[in-house]
Amino acid sequence: MISAQKIQSLVEKALPGSQVQAEDTTGTNDHFQVLVISNSFEGKGMVERHRMIYAILGSEVGGAIHALALKTMTPTEAGKKS
């Protein structure tokens, strides 16, 4: 089992300076929605960004994490959404 807080911690550790919000969408600690805003995404497409997050979470995806909805943005992109 993994928690939203653990996901947030793993991503923040791997991508220092990132803003991460993780939410357990079902209350069962296996379906999550995660928003990551990071300078590390500059120049990278959506697929590459998602692969970065999957690599960070490793075997948890497909194991403890059954479903994962990702939204990844650079700080500039996040600013445009406001």
State the average pLDDT for the chain.
95
Residue 55, pLDDT > 70, answer yes
CATH-assigned architecture of domain 4-81: 2-Layer Sandwich (3.30)
Left (φ > 0), alpha (ψ -120 to 50) or beta: where does 58 sit?
left
Q: What's residue 45's pLDDT?
A: 97
Check if the beta carbon of residue 14 is closer than 8 Å to that of residue 51: no
- The pTM of this model reads 0.93
